[in-house]
Structure 1
Amino acid sequence: MLAESLVALAGAGGTALVGAMATDAWQTVRAGAARLFTRGGAAGREVREVVEARLDRDAELVALAPEPERARQGLAQGWQVEWEALLTEHPELADELRVFVERTVAALPRAEQHWTLNVTARDHGRAYGALGGNVVVHEAAQPDPPRGPAPDRGGEAGEGAR
């Protein structure tokens, strides 16, 4: 199982990647993402071609969408899953992904650098949210323990005075 901090990093990677789609920064971001997914030899080239084709298709969806932000929101989770799979196989790439996220966010137009993320923790759990590379931990409030009637102390007041 992937560490929670790496899941959050993968979420930031997905958000940053789709945030760059249909912007002037896209070609640089696309090349960086494809490079991260490539791992050695012929298999690396095949993986790179598949990743680049998906990146191009998703960027086209964003560019043609009547509501590009809605398209980005839909695509971000899929790319988070891809980053998680990569980090599961190659955890040593965490620092490179972190740098990729920072550079991507810095390259985005100001309007694309601001996102809203709603995270809810419940049932005594924790929820991790990553926004622009910052990991924010939210914990559910611990309810007060149930209070029952006061314990029976063996009789009514004044009984001991007999």
Structure 2
Amino acid sequence: MDPVVLAAGSALVSAMATDGWQQTRAAVVEWWRRRRPDRADGVGSDLEAVRAQVLAAREQGDEDTEQALAGAWRLRLQQLINEDPALADELRRLLDEHVDPALSDGEQPQHRPIIMKAEARDNSRVYQAGRDQHITGS
């Protein structure tokens, strides 16, 4: 599955439980309308139905249901990307500009690629990490 799809499915479902959901929903429906106009109204209705399920799952502490709903949206988004691979870049922009900003800092998925370059010469050492790094010994 495309990494942007994995991130988008999770972030979209998480955003459903935020105060900024209506703006996020509008951006997602508009994005879908520009790509697949015949499916946009259905997507809007589906988003609202899933939101009700997400809110109920959070109220009950049911993380499994929330993960299942995210998985369903990942599959739906992956089908769209399979039909038109160029949409992956547009989905990334939608995620960056509209979905992720709706999430709290703790809910924002760690989906940014990390690019590191290093060059060691002579007796030097290079330590790189995408997150925490613990070095012991010499």
Deviations 1:36-80 (A, max 9, x none): 22246xx71x41111011100000111122126443211111111
Structure number with greater CO (CA < 8 Å, separation at least 6) is: 2
Among the aligned pairs, what percent are the same residue?
33
Contact 2:18–2:102 (CA under 8 A) maintained in structure 1: no
Correspondent of 2:106 among 74, 86, 111: 111
Correspondent of 1:93 among 75, 80, 87: 87
Correspondent of 1:54 among 32, 46, 64: 46
Contact 1:13–1:97 (CA under 8 A) maintained in structure 2: yes
User: Normalising by structure 1, what TM-score?
Assistant: 0.59
User: Normalising by structure 2, what TM-score?
Assistant: 0.69
Alpha-carbon deviation of 1:23? 0.6
Q: Given the alignment of the two structures, is residue 77 of structure 1 paired with residue 71 of structure 2, yes or no? A: yes
Matched position secondary structure for 2:22: helix
Higher strand share: 1
Query: Relative to 1, partners in 2 of residues 1:73 and 1:64: Cα closer, same or farther, differing over 3 Å?
Result: same
Q: Which runs of 5+ in 1 are unaligned?
A: 114-130, 137-162
Contact 2:4–2:92 (CA under 8 A) maintained in structure 1: yes
Alpha-carbon deviation of 1:10? 0.8
Alpha-carbon deviation of 1:102? 1.9
* Two-structure CA RMSD over aligned residues (Å): 2.2
2:65 and 2:106 map into 1 onto residues whose CA distance is: 16
1:68 and 1:35 map into 2 onto residues whose CA distance is: 30
The alignment of Structure 1 onto Structure 2 pairs a total of residues equal to 111
Q: Which runs of 5+ in 2 are unaligned?
A: 115-138
